[in-house]
Amino acid sequence: MNEFELIDVIVAGLGDSATGRWLDVGPGDDASVSTLPPGTQLVSSIDTLVAGRHFPGDANPADIGFRAMMVSLSDLAAMGAEPHIVLVALTLETADPAWAAALAGGMSEAASQTGAIIAGGNLSRGRLSLSMSVHGVVPTGAAVLRSGARPGDLVYVTGPLGGAAAALANGFADEELNTCFFRPAARVDLAADLRAVASAAIDVSDGFLQDAGHLAAASGVCLDIEVARVPVRSGAQLQYALQGGDDYELCFTAAAPPPFPAVCVGRVVDGSGVLLDGEPVTTAGYQHFA
Amino acid sequence: MNEFELIDVIVAGLGDSATGRWLDVGPGDDASVSTLPPGTQLVSSIDTLVAGRHFPGDANPADIGFRAMMVSLSDLAAMGAEPHIVLVALTLETADPAWAAALAGGMSEAASQTGAIIAGGNLSRGRLSLSMSVHGVVPTGAAVLRSGARPGDLVYVTGPLGGAAAALANGFADEELNTCFFRPAARVDLAADLRAVASAAIDVSDGFLQDAGHLAAASGVCLDIEVARVPVRSGAQLQYALQGGDDYELCFTAAAPPPFPAVCVGRVVDGSGVLLDGEPVTTAGYQHFA
C-alpha cells in the first residue's frame, strides 16, 4: 500500500467529520479552504503527541486518535473558542491500513463530539507521532486569556483531576482510570459560558499546580488554593490531582459564580505564584526537557 | 535548560516574525488569536519534515528552519493564498539553546520574506522533526484548486526544476545546488496574479511528473508535456527535473499567458494522466511508503 492509498484509507475513516458546513475545500488539494462566521476571530493551537512519551505506542489506535484530538482541542476550550477545523500530521512507522483506519475512526469520533471538522493533513514515515493543529472561533474580542485574573476573583476547576496520571502510574491496569487517560473530553462544551463568566482560563495539561502557576504569572497575581477543595478523581491520589497532567479539565477564574458545574478551589489574591493552604509551592508538573 | 526556558529562547529567536498586524494574541497563551481580513477565506495546510528523511539531521539549523517554513508555505502559494499565520510543532532530541535559536532564526527569515507571522507552537522531546501548520487567506471564492484545468489551457511552471534533487543526489557537495534544497522560495509572491490567471495549480514537491499527474486527475484531464520545454536547473539533469521533488516551484494551467515569468511546458487535452512527448508516463516521484 503506497502513501496515497493509505491517505485514502484515512480520509475514508474520517467519514463525515472531514466534510460539511464551513469547509469549502477539504482533504485532497494542496490546502483546505474554510469560511469563518462573520464577526469572529481565529483561535489556533498545535500539539504533538509522541509514542512512548505522550501515550503508549501499543495502545488501541482508536484511543490514540481520540485522545490526540481531544488533548489538542482542549487548548481551544481554554480560550472559550468553538472548534472550526483541525489539520492532522501523522508520522507512521508502517503502512498498516487497519491500524490507520482505526486511528482515523478515533479522531473522527472526537471531532464529531466537539463539532470540529478535519480539513486536511499530512502523512510521513518515521517514529509514530501525531501533530494536531486545531482552529476555533470566538466572537471578536471575546477570547478568554490567561492574563485576565484579578484579586478578588475565585478560582475554579471544571471537574475531577488526577485520573489520567493515576492510570499512567497504575500501568494502565484500571479500566475506569484508563478512560480518564484515553478518553478525555475537551471542554469546548463550555465555550460560550466560559466567555461570559471567566476572567482567565487555562487547561490542566501539565499538572494543576503548574498550570495554575502559568495563569498566575500571566495575570500578575497569586492563586491561593485550598487543598481540601481540589476535586480528586475517584481512584486517584491527591498527588496526581495536584501534579499529574493530562486531565484536560479547565482551571479558570471568575468574579461571579459560573452557570455550569465547577468546583471552587481558591481565590485570586495580590502577589505571585501559587499558595497551597497558605504555603508557597514550587510548582512541579510535566516538563519535556527537565 | 527546561522546556519553558527553551520556548523562551525560540520565541526570542523568532523576533518580529511572531508579532504584529493581524495577530492579536501570539505565543504564550493556550492558543493564538488572529483576525482575518473581511471578505476572505482561510486556506490551511500542514506538513511534517522528519530528520534523515526530508532533510539531513546534521544540516545547519537555520537552513532546516528556513526550508521547513518555505516547504509548508508552498502549499498556500499553490492555492493563490497570501500567508496569515503559522504554527510550529517542534520535536527536538536535546535542549540545545544555540541550535534552537538558529532554527528559530531560519524560520523567522522565511516568515519575514513571505509575510507570514509565527503565531504559536509546541515543543516535544523525541526524534527531530518539524510540523508546520500554515494558514493563508484568499478573497472569498478565489482559491486556485487542482481541479480547474480544462482542455485548451496551457501548462506552465514558474521556474527551473531539479536543483534540489540534484543537490541530494550529489550528497550536498555542490554549494549552488544546495541553495535549491535548503533555501527554496515558496511562490506566495505570485498569489494575486495566480488567482487572476490560473485555472488550476499545484506545487512541485513530490516530483514534476507525479504532481502534474495529481493535477490531471483532480481536473479529469490529460497534461500533454513537451520534454524539451521543461526548464532544468543549471547543474541538474533532466531526470531530476522530471522526477525529483523539493523544488517548490508551481505547476499551473491557464487559458491566457500569465503576467509573470513562467515557462510553458505543454497543454491540457482530453483524456487522463500525463503524456511526455506523446507517450503516457507512469508517474514516479517520492512516496513515503512505496
- Identity of residue B39: G
Contact residues, chain B, for A122 at CB < 8 Å? 45-48, 131
A89 within 8 A of B49, measured Cβ to Cβ:
no
Residue stretches of chain B with pLDDT short of 70: 283-290
Instruction: Indicate yes or no: CB of B79 within 8 angstroms of CB of A125.
Output: no
Q: B40: nearest CA in chain A? A: A35
Q: Which grid coordinates are listed for B83?
A: 500567508
Q: Between chain A and chain B, how many beta carbons pairs sit less than 8 Å apart? A: 227
Q: Which of A49, A85, A289 sits opposite B44 (nearest CB)?
A: A85
C-alpha distance from A7 to closest chain B C-alpha (Å): 11
Contact residues, chain B, for A31 at CB < 8 Å? 43-45, 75-76, 78-79, 81, 134, 136, 143
Q: Does B282 touch chain A (CB under 8 A)?
A: no
- Identity of residue B278: G
> Hey, of A5, A9, A46, which one would you mutate to test binding to chain B, going by the most B CBs within 10 A of its CB?
A46
Q: A250: nearest CA in chain B? A: B30
Task: Compute the Cα dihedral for B224, B226, B227, B229 and give only its sign.
Answer: negative
Q: Does B21 touch chain A (CB under 8 A)?
A: no
Contact residues, chain B, for A45 at CB < 8 Å? 30-32, 87, 120, 122
Instruction: Indicate yes or no: CB of A126 within 8 angstroms of CB of B129.
Output: yes
Residue with cell 492509498: A5
Interfacial A residues in 115-134 facing B (CB < 8 Å) = 119-127, 129, 131, 133-134
Cα A97 to Cα A261: distance, rounded to the nearest angstrom: 42
A36 φ, ψ to 5°?
-85, 145
Q: Does B35 touch chain A (CB under 8 A)?
A: yes
> Hey, of B6, B10, B46, which one would you mutate to test binding to chain A, going by the most A CBs within 10 A of its CB?
B46
B111 within 8 A of B117, measured Cβ to Cβ:
yes
SS3 A212: helix
Name the helix (H) or strand (E) containing A253: strand A250-254
> Hey, of A5, A53, A133, which one would you mutate to test binding to chain B, going by the most B CBs within 10 A of its CB?
A133
Q: Which of B36, B95, B147 sits opposite A42 (nearest CB)?
A: B36
Instruction: Indicate yes or no: CB of B46 within 8 angstroms of CB of A203.
Output: no
Q: Which grid coordinates are listed for A20?
A: 460539511
Q: Which of A2, A24, A78 sits opposite B30 (nearest CB)?
A: A78
B8 has which bridge partners?
Answer: none
pLDDT in tens, chain A (290 residues): 788 899 999 999 999 998 888 999 999 999 999 999 999 999 999 999 999 999 999 999 999 999 999 999 999 999 999 999 999 999 999 889 999 999 999 999 999 999 999 999 999 999 999 999 999 999 999 999 999 999 999 999 999 999 999 999 999 999 999 999 999 999 999 999 999 999 999 999 999 999 999 999 999 999 999 999 999 999 999 999 999 989 999 999 999 999 999 999 999 999 999 999 999 987 555 555 54
Contacts of B59 (CB under 8 A, 6+ apart): B182
Cα B68 to Cα B178: distance, rounded to the nearest angstrom: 15
Q: Does B148 touch chain A (CB under 8 A)?
A: no
Contact residues, chain B, for A41 at CB < 8 Å? 24, 33-36
B181 φ, ψ to 5°?
-75, -50
> Hey, of A30, A42, A43, A286, which one would you mutate to test binding to chain B, going by the most B CBs within 10 A of its CB?
A30
Confidence at residue A286, expressed as pLDDT on a 0 to 100 scale:
53
The structural domains of chain B, ordered by start, are 3-139 (3.30.1330.10), 146-280 (3.90.650.10)
Confidence at residue A242, expressed as pLDDT on a 0 to 100 scale:
96
The DSSP result for chain B, as a single string, is --HHHHHHHHHHHHGGGGSSTTEEE-BTBSSEEE-PPTTEEEEEEEEEEEBTTTB-TTS-HHHHHHHHHHHHHHHHHHTTPEEEEEEEEEEESS--HHHHHHHHHHHHHHHHHHT-EEEEEEEEESS-EEEEEEEEEEETT-PPPGGG--TT-EEEESS-BSHHHHHHHTTT--HHHHHHHHS---GGGGHHHHHHHEEEEEE-SS-HHHHHHHHHHHHT-EEEE-GGGS-B-TT--HHHHHH------EEEEESS--SS--EEEEEEESSSEEEETTEE-------TT-
Closest residue by Cα to residue A111 from A144, A76, A139, A79: A76
pTM: 0.95
User: What's the CA angle centered on A202, arms A196 and A203, to 5 degrees?
Assistant: 110
Q: How many CB atoms lie within 10 A of CB B182?
A: 22
Instruction: Indicate yes or no: CB of A46 within 8 angstroms of CB of B122.
Output: yes
Cα A289 to Cα A49: distance, rounded to the nearest angstrom: 15
- From edge to edge, which strands make up the β-sheet containing A154-157? A198-203, A250-254, A154-157, A263-269, A222-225, A273-276, A279-280
Q: Which of B29, B41, B133 sits opposite A24 (nearest CB)?
A: B41
Contacts of B228 (CB under 8 A, 6+ apart): none
Cα B30 to Cα B21: distance, rounded to the nearest angstrom: 20
Closest residue by Cα to residue B48 from A68, A48, A29: A48
Q: Which grid coordinates are listed for A257?
A: 459564580
Contact residues, chain A, for B1 at CB < 8 Å? 289
Contacts of B189 (CB under 8 A, 6+ apart): B114
Cα A263 to Cα A158: distance, rounded to the nearest angstrom: 6
Confidence at residue A290, expressed as pLDDT on a 0 to 100 scale:
45
Confidence at residue A284, expressed as pLDDT on a 0 to 100 scale:
56
Q: Which grid coordinates are listed for B9?
A: 529562547
Strands B129-139 and B198-203: unpaired
Confidence at residue A285, expressed as pLDDT on a 0 to 100 scale:
53
Confidence at residue B258, expressed as pLDDT on a 0 to 100 scale:
98
B263 within 8 A of B228, measured Cβ to Cβ:
no
Q: Does A187 touch chain B (CB under 8 A)?
A: no
Closest residue by Cα to residue A191 from A234, A142, A225: A142
